[in-house]
Amino acid sequence: MPTQRQRKERVYRLFTRIASAMANPHRLELLDLLVQAPRTVEELARESGMSIANTSQHLQRLKQARLVMAKREGLYMRYRLADPAVARLWLELRAVGEQQLDEVEQALDAYRTRRHEFEKVSIDELRDRLQAGKAVLLDVRPDEEYLAGHLPQALSIPLDELEQRLNELPRHRTIVAYCRGPLCVLADDALALLSKQGRKVARLEEGVSEWEQAGWALER
């Protein structure tokens, strides 16, 4: 018969299944991508720069910990987060890392080289500017992410289409771009292109998950 101590340790050991599944940078990136939209293994492999085989192995680890779930669609398996709580867990992990580890700021600066180049606006500032008609909100993520959920009033122009579609953006309002959150460079690249065209620009650091965690609804 297990002792009381052994029974208690088993409870803690079960929680380590979650921690162990998340203790890998590639699996965290996959979770971050799935926060944006459900995806097939092939789509996740392309976005993360991994092989399909490696991507599948990492997804299996996440599935075993019940952080993601999969549904067959014809020839493909489409993965999604198992519960909104998984997105909250990832955001909390990221927030604790940013707060406790000075190296995170240094790593972000090295990765997002334009991180401090453009004006940043908060969620509240963005809402005020949109209500006053002083800003246009631009979503530069891929189409499938926009369709899965986007900030209200956001225009969708994926980054790789932006240069050809500049005339769709008004010239006399600030263009506020956002993408997948603070670990994403898509909005930085969009703002660099827009500023070269003489547009007034700003960045919203938050993405769809942060928007929801702040208590605001997405449009789908």
How many CB atoms are located within 10 Å of the residue 142 CB? 22
Structure tokens at 195: 């500023």
Which positions ≥6 away from 100 have C-beta within 8 Å?
Answer: none
Which positions ≥6 away from 10 have C-beta within 8 Å?
Answer: 2
192 neighbors 199 (Cβ within 8 angstroms): no
- Sheet (strand 68-73) strand order: 39-40, 76-81, 68-73
Structure tokens at 79: 């993965």
Structure tokens at 142: 């891929």
What amino acid positions are annotated as catalytic residues? 179
